[in-house]
């Protein structure tokens, strides 16, 4: 509770944060980078549960990812939150399944049918590729993400946001959805669409949800796209549920998943919610803040630094001679040693790259240079089961006493999905067995491989997962994890190394640009700042996609507190061995001009060797 009071005291100094915390009406908060949005929404949850909402009623907090919901759970626990009934914290898909479809679909008599057998990613890709082959469409002409984006934007409801449609992709999506029903399967978009149908058509469903959840909070609203947007608009139109939505349209960078900043703007401007804007950045100095607005090509943002007010930023523009390899080497041989000489620790340095292929090349160079690193995005972040195994490892190695409650809760839910509801007496027996098994597994702490195999065997995990309906994908994740432990990248890990994956500990952070959102470092290094690379040459004539890449560049810059490095190479070698010239990205040029115009501390280096 001390942390709660400490955070509460801090927001008393920020009028916008305090207003968001205190408001008792539906509210939408536009929160710029470093503005403390996570603190605000966490404090809001605590206030609502301790002062406004009496049991047995609760609230729902919808997050963009499972990682985000785990982070919220941890923050709430640290603030003294005591677990209670009817408080939901998780993704929108899980909300729709657990809070809408499972409890209420049996009462619906409409023509629509929902199947809770969720198609796995492998099955979905095969179905999609089969449709492409039938229609004579090349596998690179339409991507599965484009189909899902089209499906998301095409949901009919109360939104007036217009997004361009593609007739070919729309036709593929129509065939896909028909085949999905024929297979008696569903996917996450269908789950939300069916939930919308129940909420819109069934007053009983609306009344039940309204009684259970007087408030629904949404974090990172700009990331969700139309399915979640229509769900929130349905609650606003048909129920008395209050909405507290937080997001930043300037950080809407997941267009390939159906996100679009206009959905946030529509909620902010057109549906009668109280609009609040958090303008103070407590992460970066003013030079970084001013430079980041140049990245957006917008001059009406009024963000100001809340800390480091007298500090100057540094911007370094590095032109390497040839290819990505020269950029990798400049990072490992020059930038990182320079940072260490300035007493900047490794875990305050982050390198941002275009995609996993560039990331793999950088990893090779980091290994060659013996520089410790970690990859920010955990590969298994979409798997509840693997995240649970990671929690078990962390609890065991770090003695995090508060974590076992969440570990045991997940285990009981798993057992009940397998065999039905358990009496309290049996629950306690199973929790005690789980505690003993995990505690005794410490004898395998020196080998993650041995620990994992031991845990799977003692808990009979593979058999349990194989008998639970809709758990094929989780079983696939478990198999993949086991393979990586036996003969892959985790083969040499001890238990502590696995437990701390995603937590930098004296290591440089490596991340793709898209995975960097939410991170912050003293030094941010951006690789691949050439024209045709960022933004990609395939979208240079599509203004909407260029604008999204501008927002992505904005996200990258605002990860930095003080220092930014931008790297490019003047020459590359084509696949047939011929050299060709590369030029700076438009983002590079815009930022360099702004730095020079504003007399920011700017360093330009051109390699000649």
| Residue list for the binding site for ATP | 31-38
What sign does the CA torsion over 361, 365, 370, 375 have? negative
- 406 neighbors 457 (Cβ within 8 angstroms): no
Task: Classify residue 256 as left (phi > 0), alpha (psi -120 to 50) or beta.
Answer: alpha
Q: Which helix (H) or strand (E) holds 329?
A: helix 323-330
- Distance, CA of 354 to CA of 515 (rounded, Å): 10
DSSP, collapsed to helix, strand or coil, labels residue 492 as coil
CA dist 221 and 229 (Å) reads: 8
Are 11 and 257 spatial neighbours (Cβ–Cβ below 8 Å)?
no
Cα 359–chain centre separation: 18
Give 312's DSSP letter: P
Q: Say how far apart CA 359 and CA 366 lie, in whole Å.
A: 10
Centroid of chain to Cα 415: 28
Q: Which residues 6+ apart lie within 8 Å of 494 measured at CB?
A: 445, 446, 447, 448
Residue 164's closest CA among 544, 539, 425? Answer: 544
Mark the binding-site residues, compressed into ranges: 31-38
What is the spatial distance between Cα 407 and Cα 403, in angstroms, rounded to a whole number? 6
Burial class of residue 152 in the structure, from the number of CB atoms within 10 Å of its CB (0-12 exposed, 13-18 middle, 19+ buried): buried
Question: Across-strand partners of 533?
Answer: 536
Least Cα distance to 109 among 201, 192, 209 occurs for 201
Residues 101, 202 contacting (CB under 8 angstroms): no
Task: Reduce the DSSP state of residue 306 to 3 states and report it.
Answer: coil
Residues 582 and 323: their CA atoms lie apart, in Å, by 9
Report which DSSP code applies to 538. Answer: G
């Amino acid at each position: 509770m001390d942390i709660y009071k400490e955070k509460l005291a801090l927001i008393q100094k920020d009028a916008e944060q305090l207003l968001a915390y205190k408001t008792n009406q539906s509210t939408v908060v536009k929160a710029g980078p470093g503005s403390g949005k996570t603190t605000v929404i966490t404090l809001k949850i605590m206030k609502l549960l301790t002062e406004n909402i009496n049991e047995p009623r609760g609230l729902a907090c919808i997050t963009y990812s499972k990682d985000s919901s785990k982070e919220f759970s941890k923050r709430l626990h640290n603030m003294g939150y005591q677990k209670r009934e009817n408080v939901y914290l998780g993704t929108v898909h899980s909300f729709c399944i657990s809070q809408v479809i499972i409890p209420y679909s049996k009462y619906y008599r409409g023509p629509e049918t929902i199947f809770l057998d969720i198609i796995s990613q492998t099955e979905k890709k095969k179905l999609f590729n089969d449709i492409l082959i039938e229609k004579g469409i090349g596998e690179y002409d339409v991507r599965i993400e484009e189909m899902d984006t089209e499906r998301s934007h095409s949901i009919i409801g109360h939104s007036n946001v217009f997004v361009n449609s593609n007739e070919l992709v729309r036709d593929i999506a129509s065939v896909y959805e028909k085949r999905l029903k024929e297979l008696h399967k569903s996917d996450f978009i269908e789950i939300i669409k069916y939930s919308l149908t129940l909420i819109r058509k069934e007053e009983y469903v609306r009344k039940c949800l309204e009684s259970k959840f007087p408030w629904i909070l949404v974090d990172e609203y700009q990331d969700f796209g139309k399915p979640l947007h229509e769900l929130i608009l349905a609650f606003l139109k048909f129920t008395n549920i209050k909405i507290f939505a937080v997001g930043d349209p300037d950080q809407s960078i997941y267009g390939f998943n159906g996100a679009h900043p206009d959905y946030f703007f529509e909620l902010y401007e057109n549906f009668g919610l109280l609009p609040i804007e958090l303008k103070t950045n407590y992460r970066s100095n003013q030079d970084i803040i001013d430079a980041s607005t140049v990245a957006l090509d917008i001059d009406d943002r009024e963000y100001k630094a809340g800390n480091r007010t007298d500090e100057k930023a540094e911007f370094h523009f590095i032109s390497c001679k040839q290819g990505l390899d020269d950029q990798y080497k400049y990072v490992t041989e020059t930038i990182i040693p320079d940072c260490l000489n300035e007493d900047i620790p490794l875990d305050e340095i982050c390198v941002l790259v275009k995609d996993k292929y560039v990331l793999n090349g950088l990893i090779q160079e980091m290994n060659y240079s013996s520089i410790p690193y970690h990859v920010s995005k955990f590969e298994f972040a979409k798997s509840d089961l693997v995240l649970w195994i990671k929690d078990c490892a962390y609890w065991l190695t770090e003695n995090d006493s508060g974590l076992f409650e969440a570990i045991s809760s997940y285990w009981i839910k798993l057992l009940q999905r397998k065999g039905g509801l358990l009496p309290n007496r049996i629950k306690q027996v199973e929790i005690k067995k789980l505690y003993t098994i995990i505690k005794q597994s410490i004898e395998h702490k020196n080998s993650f491989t041995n620990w994992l195999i031991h845990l799977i065997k003692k808990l009979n995990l593979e058999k349990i997962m194989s008998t639970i309906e809709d758990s094929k994908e989780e079983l696939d994740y478990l198999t993949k994890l086991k393979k990586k432990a036996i003969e892959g990248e985790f083969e040499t890990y001890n238990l502590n190394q696995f437990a701390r994956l995603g937590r930098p500990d004296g290591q440089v952070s490596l991340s793709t640009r898209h995975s960097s959102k939410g991170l912050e470092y003293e030094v941010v290094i951006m690789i691949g700042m050439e024209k045709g690379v960022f933004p990609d040459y395939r979208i240079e004539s599509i203004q909407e996609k260029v604008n999204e890449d501008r927002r992505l560049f904005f996200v990258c810059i605002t990860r930095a507190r003080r220092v930014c490095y931008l790297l490019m190479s003047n020459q590359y070698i084509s696949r047939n061995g011929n050299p060709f010239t590369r030029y700076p990205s438009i983002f590079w040029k815009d930022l360099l001009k702004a730095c020079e115009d504003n007399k920011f501390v700017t360093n330009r280096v051109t390699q000649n060797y």
